[in-house]
Copies of this chain bind each other. A is one copy, B any other.
Amino acid sequence: MPTEVTQLIKSHRSIRQYKDQPIAEEVLQEILDCAQWAPSSHHVQAYSVIVVRSSEVKEKLSALAGNQRWVKECPVFLVFCADYYRLQQVCEMHGQTLAADEVESLLVGAVDTALAAENVLLAARSHGLGGVMIGGIRNNPREVANVLGLPTLTVPLMGMCLGYPAQDVQQKPRLPKRAVIHEERYQTERIAGALEEYEQTTSEYYSERTNGQRTDGWTKQMADYLNKPRRAHVTPFIKEQGMRLT
């Protein structure tokens, strides 16, 4: 007995092609309001959202995110940032200095930001929009920060393209539930079998989607992706932004 909400959640797919149809201001603002009703750790509200509609800015961000054309083609592009700049201002208002800038605080900011982002994506989808989250915004974070005028202590974490869907996309199969959801304790003994099963499922999925061009399943893809450091520039960027990450 799914609810309207669980049905929406379970019908998720990333949408990268959009109709030439603008998003009404009233709809957009209602969606953005939803960001702020996510829970926040200790109510710190350590995130900000930049709403980008200018073609010029979208073009720049599209290039910086690895030439993802949907970034420039979507009518509205959002950039979600972990944000301690505002909290530093708050400390200064009271003659204090922000000292909470360790990995813990970065995690709090990342979690706050993602909770808000998921609210926004679901709110948008409930209005008939589609979207895709863009981790590529961290490919060139310094340049993104320059384009968006991001102050110290802010970290762009993800982008989000929004628009009315102009494509029909298959859902990507997820890991077998028993590999992700555990009862009482983490069941390490379940993992190997679940991964074998998933390799099979995803190999068939990719093979079908690419007419046999791509037959590697998820485990092979992941092994090839994660056997080298990813975006090693992110750590120095965050430190340059003023977080010590101690």
Interface residues of A (CB under 8 A from B): 1-6, 8-12, 14, 26-27, 30-39, 41-45, 47-54, 57, 81, 85-87, 89-91, 93-94, 96-108, 110-115, 117-119, 121-123, 125-127, 132-133, 135, 138, 148-151, 154, 157-158, 172, 174-175, 177, 179-186, 188, 191-192, 195, 199, 218-220, 222-232, 234-235, 238, 245-246
Select one of B3, B45, B158, B229 contacting A175, CB under 8 A. Answer: B45
**Assembly CA distance A94 to B226 (angstroms):** 11
User: Contact: A103 with B149, CB < 8 Å?
Assistant: no
30 A-B contacts (beta carbon < 8 Å): A1-B26, A3-B126, A5-B122, A14-B39, A32-B181, A35-B181, A36-B180, A37-B174, A39-B132, A53-B184, A57-B184, A85-B188, A87-B222, A87-B226, A91-B227, A93-B219, A98-B226, A99-B227, A99-B228, A99-B229, A102-B231, A102-B232, A108-B135, A110-B110, A114-B114, A115-B118, A119-B122, A148-B184, A149-B188, A151-B188
Enumerate chain B residues within 8 angstroms of A199, measured Cβ to Cβ: 93
Enumerate chain B residues within 8 angstroms of A110, measured Cβ to Cβ: 107, 110-111, 114
Enumerate chain B residues within 8 angstroms of A118, measured Cβ to Cβ: 38, 114-115, 118-119
Known A36-B175, A182-B49, A182-B51: A230·B102 in contact at CB below 8 Å: yes
Minimal beta-carbon separation of A6 from chain B (angstroms): 5
Enumerate chain B residues within 8 angstroms of A123, measured Cβ to Cβ: 3, 5-6, 9
Select one of B34, B158, B172 contacting A6, CB under 8 A. Answer: B34
Enumerate chain B residues within 8 angstroms of A229, measured Cβ to Cβ: 99-102, 104, 246
User: Contact: A122 with B121, CB < 8 Å?
Assistant: no
Q: Which of A34, A54, A150, A183 has the most CB of B within 10 A?
A: A34
Enumerate chain B residues within 8 angstroms of A151, measured Cβ to Cβ: 186, 188
Minimal beta-carbon separation of A40 from chain B (angstroms): 9
Enumerate chain B residues within 8 angstroms of A228, measured Cβ to Cβ: 99-100
Known A36-B175, A104-B234, A118-B115: A185·B225 in contact at CB below 8 Å: no
User: Contact: A111 with B43, CB < 8 Å?
Assistant: no
User: Contact: B188 with A222, CB < 8 Å?
Assistant: no
Enumerate chain B residues within 8 angstroms of A225, measured Cβ to Cβ: 42, 44, 100
